[in-house]
Amino acid sequence: MERCGFSGREKTEAIASVWEHKGMDGKESTPSGVWRILDASLNRASEGLRTIEEYARFVLGDPQLSEQLKQLRHQTATAAEGMPRLQLLAARDTPGDVGTAIETPTETERVDALAVAIAAAARVQQSLRCLEEYGKIVDSGIGRAFEACRYRSYTLFATLEQLSQRRDRLADCQLYVLVDGGDSIEAMTVTIAELAEAGADLIQLRDKRLNDRELYEHAAAAAATLRPSRCLFIVNDRPDIAAAVHADGVHVGQDELPATVVRQIIGPERLLGVSTHCVAQVEQAVSDGADYIGCGPTFPSGTKSFEAFPGTDFLRDAAATTTLPAFAIGGIGAENLAYVIEAGFSRVAVAGAITRSESPAAMVTELKQRLLRQDESTNR
């Protein structure tokens, strides 16, 4: 066409006129307005998907979700290959778009990064629906391709929002206290209420002495006691009991059910913690969808026995491996907390140093104050 004297724009318009006269499946005269809708919707969907992917990648730091969102972005681009790009470009008329001057008050306000992602998700789903419906005018296969993208987006965006909410619950948590069932349910509830009042952020019930019925009864009482407070309640090893008593979450070790199976039991709303003893286990926990990890054992402990102690070297390696909330655990108390902090951690899980002290509540307060004084840039 250039040899016949056509400019680049004239060539584009000439090709576009052919597509407008007869569509891909023989339909006559696809209106230019339809092409404009498809072009605008594709742009909105692509931009929105990138916005959401960046949130999953840089704010949540979740590799699995980031990869799934990237796949959806590429799936959408593949679906768009069914529409001639030159036709879309020829129909584009941004200066003549009456919608560019229409604004609502909420468009210019976003309270946080999650709000940005949620707004982008809504735009993506609306745009995919437009692409699906108007794409049918061009070719029925285009509509089906975008329909598949839309349904996939529902699952991914729900996962993203649920993950964000779980991470938000852990954002300010620094002191994690492990307790047993005590001498009685009544004694246990008094203890955990005092610990929560003193500043404990999470309390985990771990007691191998109790049978299933006893553990359930203790867990139900603990959950009811802590529910009015800001302190989260976690059940050790037993996702079934955590779900039954409506606990905030469950924590499992390397010898318990796999994290992926635990998630199926507790659902998307509860927290899932995993114990790790090496970098490979940290990476696996992240891949399996853990919300937080325990890293240790850091020092010898009277609570559990281990053949080896990864120590503070492992804490440094873990801190360099993931941005997932991570709690140092194992023999940690007031006398060695500084070593944990020097290793890059400002979150700790403590058992005996608190529960066996003369004043557990006072020890909670002391440890919490020392953690709060740490550099805010240390987000472990």
Q: Which residue numbers belong to the known binding site? A: 204-208, 236-237, 256, 275, 301-304, 331
Task: Name the amino acid, one letter, at 350.
Answer: V
* 314: enclosing H helix or E strand: helix 311-321
Whether the CB-CB separation of 183 and 80 falls below 8 Å is answered with no
Pairing of strands 271-276, 292-295: parallel
Q: Which two tokens stand for residue 346?
A: 């400002």
- Backbone Cα Rg of the chain: 27
Q: 199 Cβ partners below 8 Å, 6+ apart?
A: 175, 364, 365, 368
Tokens of 307: 């053949």
Q: Long-range contact list for 68-75, CB < 8 A, 24+ apart?
A: 68/156, 68/159, 69/156, 69/160, 72/149, 72/152, 72/153, 72/156, 73/46, 73/49, 75/148, 75/149, 75/152
Angle at 289 (CA atoms; ends 286, 293), nearest 5 degrees: 55
Q: What is the largest CA-CA distance in the chain?
A: 95
DSSP conformation class of 44 = H
- On whether the CB atoms of residues 338 and 373 are closer than 8 A, the answer is no
**Beta bridge partners of residue 232, listed in sequence order:** 202
